[in-house]
Amino acid sequence: MKLGNGKEKQVQLSMFNSDVEIIGHNSDEVIIETREYNAPPQRAEGLKPLYNQMEDNTSLGLSVEKKGDILTIAKASRSDAKYTIRVPRNASILYKETNWTGGDLRISDLDGEIEARLNNAEATFTNVSGPVVANTTAGMLKVVFSSLAQSKPSALSSVAGEIDITLPANTKANFKLKSLQGEVYTDFNMDLKQEGKENNMNLIGGGGNIDGKTNGGGVEMSVQSISSDIFIRKKK
């Protein structure tokens, strides 16, 4: 389906019971492929499902609708499936995991904004520039930035999953970091401001806020976890 390859274009996805891979490409088309999708039984021909009342207008277990600059993709089947979705590189993504039976999410090769609202899915973003806003309850978040967009803040948060971020060494950012029960690890030379330091006190035990700048500072990046570690590493 044709969408366009501008920053104003957006693909919104509402998914469950699915492993989803979203790949940016230099086209104005959205292309959907699926594997391991089980179509409804022949006995159901002419009948409508009641648990999931979205209309499957693709024969892929998905409902797809375009209104203006927004393309909406919603799961229209309870069947497990694996999807590969190619989207215009400059479009933005809004991904929502609608229940607790989600699969893994992978996003790569995008220059547009990314927002992911997850429950227990593990998410890996590769070769993205963002801004990226992602939150999850139990899944791991891994983001490899090609560069960090300075237009808007990025924010990553998790309750029980690790957060692993890779950035170019010359990234300009103002980090706001916090893990209540985990540790924060980095190989960046950060200019740090820690709670308690203004009173010449050493930080003991963790759990407080850590503000740090890289390369003189830049766009804000918030990274927070409740019970897991945070890793911020230089791209090799």
pLDDT tens readout for residues 202-235:
454 566 789 999 999 999 999 999 999 999 999 9
200 pLDDT more than 70: no
* Residue that wins the pLDDT comparison between 10 and 197: 10
- Look up residue 60 and give its two tokens: 């892929």
What is the C-alpha separation between 60 and 201, in angstroms, rounded?
59
196 pLDDT more than 70: no
What is the C-alpha separation between 218 and 145, in angstroms, rounded?
15
pLDDT, tens only, 133-192? 999 998 899 999 999 999 999 999 999 999 999 999 999 999 999 999 999 999 999 998
52 pLDDT more than 90: no
| pLDDT at site 204 | 47
Nearest to 134 by CA among 2, 22, 217: 22
Confirm if 213 and 173 have CB atoms less than 8 A apart.
yes
CA 234 to each of CA 145, 186, 187: distance values in angstroms, whole numbers, following the listed order: 10, 8, 7
Confirm if 87 and 72 have CB atoms less than 8 A apart.
no
Average pLDDT over residues 42-48: 84
Mean pLDDT for the chain?
Answer: 91
Nearest to 226 by CA among 155, 169, 161, 149: 161
78 pLDDT more than 60: yes
Average pLDDT over residues 60-89: 95
- Look up residue 48 and give its two tokens: 């409508």
Confirm if 202 and 155 have CB atoms less than 8 A apart.
no
| pLDDT at site 195 | 55
Identity at 96, one-letter amino acid code: K
Nearest to 169 by CA among 92, 78, 232, 81: 232
DSSP state at residue 137:
S
| pLDDT at site 201 | 46
Average pLDDT over residues 120-126: 94
- Look up residue 170 and give its two tokens: 């010359």
DSSP state at residue 97:
E
Average pLDDT over residues 68-85: 94
What is the C-alpha separation between 28 and 89, in angstroms, rounded?
8
